[in-house]
């Protein structure tokens, strides 16, 4: 009995030491952690050169290498920003030089160029390292970070999964991103939606394309000409486009940024790759779009370009059982910087996809479900104006 009591007392003392240790770390480093999160927010809405500067981030670390490849915000000059609701917990010392913690907060931004106000809910896991060469001194900087799940988004995924038995929506997080995965069990339900005036002029928002077809789900589609000199060409699709068996744009895919065709044949098999016009005629794809970069082809992961940027991303894939996956990654914002091509390839491999490719991303990235915008990288709108979308009915 004495030995048991002694053991229990030892465990209680040890637990107290851990609790005290976490409390000491929190009181000691909370201000540093807060300012580091604030800096990450500033980088997420402006640029590394202005706010990164090595004051809080270890140069050449995982955190630094992510930030220098960040496809920074496009919103223009900030007129005001407000960092609030900061909370940090789960402080743990790891090894002699590192400590880790979870951080939360809210970042309110007013973008002067668009007169737009937006609040971002922040959730990160931080790893700090003491870089001081003097054993008696401490100089902690951010070594790496990763996104934490957000409860509101998990609830959105749960509710949307109840809209249809053949559709499952889930949240996904990574080292630099948060996003959504939409699984469609029946590939025959997936097709390409196009605007009425495809080929010239303005495109449509994704909700307008969705409404045209009575779609349950829509994601942004393939390549298109952008606006220039106040003349909008967002309705002009680039590359190969087929919708419900009708070719909407039969040009040979361009070799620069829309050389990859992603399309379904009559057997509802998704094909992803670079094809000649003769090959495309023989394949007789019922629905297809074009953009750049394959992630998985014939069950093999495709090697991705080095140093691709971290940005909002959209992709489509199919597994061996025929299930189709839409992957929509939030990006260009302080709560989710975005994914690179390697991240996207890894996601589709983890989903078991045998073919997968990259759709238009950046400002075009959008997910629209059951009459509501789930995500749009084009702040303040359901999407930017686009000519095509993959839809589910």
> How does residue 76 score in pLDDT terms, banded at 50, 70 and 90?
low
Residue 138 and residue 182 in one domain: no
Total domains present in the chain: 2
CA distance 67 to 71: 9
Look at residue 255 and tell me whether its pLDDT is greater than 70: no
CA distance 19 to 34: 21
Looking at residue 4, its pLDDT comes to: 38
In this predicted structure, the answer to whether residue 348 has a pLDDT above a threshold of 90 is: yes
Determine if the pTM surpasses 0.85.
yes
Give Cβ neighbours of residue 354 (< 8 Å, ≥ 6 apart).
296, 298, 299, 318, 319, 320
Q: Are residues 128 and 161 in the same domain?
A: no
The confidence score (pLDDT) of residue 296 equals: 98
Check whether 313 has a pLDDT greater than 70: yes
Within this chain, do residues 120 and 171 fall inside the same structural domain, yes or no?
no
DSSP string, 305-366: PTTPPBB-EEEEEEETT--EEEEEE--SBTTB--B-HHHHHHHHHHTTEEEEEEE--GGG-E
Residues 163, 110 share a domain: no
Let me know whether 51 and 192 are in one domain.
Answer: no
Q: What is the mean pLDDT of the chain?
A: 87
| pLDDT tier at 374, thresholds 50, 70, 90 | very high
pLDDT digits (tens, 9 = 90+) for 120-140: 999 999 999 999 999 889 999
Q: Tell me the average pLDDT across 297-323.
A: 96
Which pLDDT band holds residue 8 (cuts at 50, 70, 90)?
very low
pLDDT confidence tier of residue 20, bands split at 50, 70 and 90: very low
**Local confidence band at 257 (pLDDT 50, 70, 90 cut-offs):** low
CB-CB contact of 182 with 371 (8 Å): no
- Final residue before a domain boundary, out of 147, 175, 191: 147
Given a cut of 70, whether residue 307 has pLDDT beyond it is: yes
Confidence grade of residue 205 (pLDDT, cut at 50, 70, 90): very high
Lowest-pLDDT range of 86-90, 213-217, 250-254, 300-304: 250-254
Residues 135 and 178 in one domain: no
Q: Are residues 257 and 373 in the same domain?
A: yes
Distances (CA, A) of 55 to 59, 69, 75, 142, 270: 9, 18, 25, 9, 47
CA-only gyration radius of the chain, Å? 24
Please give the DSSP secondary-structure letter assigned to residue 362: G
Percent of the chain exceeding pLDDT 90 equals 62
Is there a single domain that holds both residue 303 and residue 334?
yes
Over range 84-102, report the average pLDDT.
94
Segment 57-66 shows an average pLDDT of 91
Give the residue numbers spanning the domain of 360. Answer: 151-392
Q: Which residues pair with 260 in a beta bridge?
A: 291
| 181 and 86 together in one domain | no
Say what the pLDDT of residue 117 is.
Answer: 86
Instruction: Please report the pLDDT score of residue 109 as a whole number.
Output: 85
- Place 73 in a pLDDT band, splitting at 50, 70 and 90: low
Last residue of a domain, one of 132, 147, 162: 147
Of residues 269 and 65, more confidently modeled: 269
DSSP readout, 2-18? HHHHHHHHHHHHHHHHH
Most confident of 30-44, 167-181, 240-254: 167-181
CA pair distance 62, 143, nearest whole angstrom: 6
Same domain, 143 and 188: no
């Amino acid at each position: 009995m004495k030995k048991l009591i002694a053991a229990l007392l030892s465990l209680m003392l040890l637990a107290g030491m851990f609790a005290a240790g976490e409390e000491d770390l929190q009181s000691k480093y909370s201000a540093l952690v807060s300012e580091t999160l604030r800096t990450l927010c500033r980088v997420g809405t402006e640029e590394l050169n202005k706010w990164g500067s090595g004051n809080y981030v270890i140069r050449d670390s995982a955190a630094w290498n992510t930030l220098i490849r960040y496809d920074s915000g496009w919103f223009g000059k900030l007129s005001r920003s407000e960092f609030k609701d900061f909370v940090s917990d789960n402080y743990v010392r790891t090894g002699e030089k590192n400590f880790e913690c979870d951080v939360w907060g809210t970042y309110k931004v007013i973008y002067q160029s668009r007169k737009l106000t937006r609040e971002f809910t922040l959730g990160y896991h931080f790893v700090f390292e003491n870089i001081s060469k003097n054993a008696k001194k401490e100089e902690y900087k951010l070594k790496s970070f990763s996104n934490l799940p957000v409860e509101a988004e998990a609830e959105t995924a749960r509710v949307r999964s109840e809209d249809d038995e053949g559709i499952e929506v889930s949240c996904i997080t990574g080292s630099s991103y948060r996003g959504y995965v939409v699984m469609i069990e029946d590939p025959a339900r997936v097709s390409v939606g196009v605007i009425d005036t495809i080929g010239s002029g303005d495109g449509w928002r994704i909700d307008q394309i969705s409404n045209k077809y009575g779609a349950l789900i829509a994601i942004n589609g393939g390549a298109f000409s952008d606006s220039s000199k106040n003349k909008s060409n967002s309705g002009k699709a680039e590359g190969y486009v087929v919708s419900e068996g009708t070719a909407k744009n039969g040009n040979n895919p361009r070799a620069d940024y829309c050389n990859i065709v992603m399309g379904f044949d009559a057997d509802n098999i998704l094909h992803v790759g670079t094809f000649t016009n003769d090959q495309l005629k023989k394949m007789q794809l019922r629905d297809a779009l074009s953009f750049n970069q394959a992630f998985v082809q014939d069950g093999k992961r495709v090697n991705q370009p080095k140093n691709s940027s971290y940005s909002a991303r959209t992709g489509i894939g199919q597994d061996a059982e025929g299930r189709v996956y839409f992957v929509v990654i939030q990006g260009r914002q302080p709560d989710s910087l975005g994914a690179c091509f390697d991240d996207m390839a890894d996601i589709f491999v983890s989903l078991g996809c045998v073919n997968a490719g990259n759709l238009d991303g950046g400002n075009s990235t959008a997910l629209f479900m059951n009459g509501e915008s789930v995500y749009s990288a084009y702040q303040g709108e359901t999407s930017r104006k686009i000519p095509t979308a993959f839809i589910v009915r």
